[in-house]
Amino acid sequence: MDTADAIMTSDEKIEIESIKGRSLLGDAWQRLKKEKKAVLCLGIVLFYALIALLSWWGVIAADWGKEVGASYSPPSSEHWLGTDIFGRSVLQKVIHGTQIAMSVGLISSAIAIPIGVFFGAVAGYFGGWIDELVVWFYTTFSSVPQIMLLMSIAFILGKGITTVYIALGLTSWVGLARLIRGEVMKHKDRDYVQAAGSLGAGHGRKLFKHILPNVSHIVIIFTSLQFQVAIKSEVILSYLGLGVSGQPSWGTMIDDAKLELARDVWWQLAGATIAMFVVVLAFNILGDSLRDALDPKLKGKD
């Protein structure tokens, strides 16, 4: 056991290998892979995504609207999660709800990310009056309590799933813009950016080709957390009567339960809550692990 190689732990070996040249994301993936719980959570998320896709293509739960049994029949071997007031299968509704939940996370992220990255990058890179203007703009946005802004936008656009996407997307980009701005500010004067500049790279090239790939980890962490925020917010919007209509979502199912509990009908609430709990927990833990893996400075600080 006297050679250096034998003394090194496997961790250190991986560390050295990573120095030999791997991208930021490849490096992070190696670190993430070592954490069993993160891999498990990623698996859960992918499983939900698969269910959502199958439901979207109409392979499963396509007839969630069909009457399959008596009204409010409790869970049985035939209907694992029982039936709702119209005798529809709760399991099928939960599956269709998965599709809604995942799409809410995905599309609200797809709206928030370009806005947040654009404003954050421009403000951080150019500084000066552009920075002042952008900071004023997002301070304005974040000064209205998020729940009031969310409700106002949803109310004005009117009930429906498109409204849920837009309202959640428009109310969640400020945090991302703030983080990107800070990170771009740190990077813009680093040697590699100056080197690119002296080789003739313009602002656009420096920003998009050199700086943004180095701050992309923030977007990944944001997306993981945005999914769980969006899924939880959908429930609140449904309760306020501003959510999805005409099709089942976890939010409308939980909202229905407020009248069902007094009649001892608990399976619709339980089905939606458990389905939601598992995936939101997975996104939460994944978000934390991603932060540890992608931003090692913050490790251990939660």
Partner 1 sequence: MSSTWNYIFRRVLYLIPVLLGVCFLIFFLFNVVAGDPTGILLGKHATASQMAELREQLGLNKPLIAQYFDVVKSAFTFDFGRSWATKQQISQMIAQGAIPSLSVTLPGFFLATVVSILLATIVAYFRGKGIDLFIRILTIAMMSISSLVYIMVFQWLFAFELGWFEISGFEYSFPEVMPYITLPIIIWIVLSLGPDTRFYRTLILDEMYQDYVRTARAKGVSEKKILLKHVLRNAMIPIITYTVVQLPFLLLGSILLESFFSIPGLGNMVINALNASDFPVLKAITVLSAVAYIVFTLVQDILYTVVDPRVKLK
Name the residues that contact partner 1, by CB under 8 A: 136-137, 139-141, 143-145, 147-149, 151-153, 155-156, 228, 232, 235-236, 239-242, 254-255, 257-258, 261-262, 269, 273, 276-277, 280-281, 284-285, 288, 300-302
Nearer to partner 1, 16 or 281 (CB): 281
**Considering the complex, what minimum distance in angstroms separates the CB of residue 15 from partner 1?**
21
**Considering the complex, what minimum distance in angstroms separates the CB of residue 241 from partner 1?**
7
Nearer to partner 1, 13 or 37 (CB): 37
**Considering the complex, what minimum distance in angstroms separates the CB of residue 271 from partner 1?**
12
**Considering the complex, what minimum distance in angstroms separates the CB of residue 221 from partner 1?**
15
Nearer to partner 1, 183 or 255 (CB): 255
**Considering the complex, what minimum distance in angstroms separates the CB of residue 228 from partner 1?**
7
Nearer to partner 1, 27 or 288 (CB): 288
Nearer to partner 1, 86 or 136 (CB): 136
**Considering the complex, what minimum distance in angstroms separates the CB of residue 41 from partner 1?**
11
Nearer to partner 1, 128 or 300 (CB): 300
DSSP notation for the chain: --SHHHHS-HHHHHHHHHHTS--HHHHHHHHHHH-HHHHHHHHHHHHHHHHHHHHHTTSSSTTTTSB-SSTTPPP-SSSTT-B-TTSBBHHHHHHHHHHHHHHHHHHHHHHHHHHHHHHHHHHHHH-HHHHHHHHHHHHHHHHS-HHHHHHHHHHHH-SSHHHHHHHHHHTSSHHHHHHHHHHHHHHHTSHHHHHHHHTT--HHHIIIIIIHHHHHHHHHHHHHHHHHHHHHHHHHHHHTT-S--SS--HHHHHHHHHHHGGGT--HHHHHHHHHHHHHHHHHHHHHHHHHHHH-GGGTT--
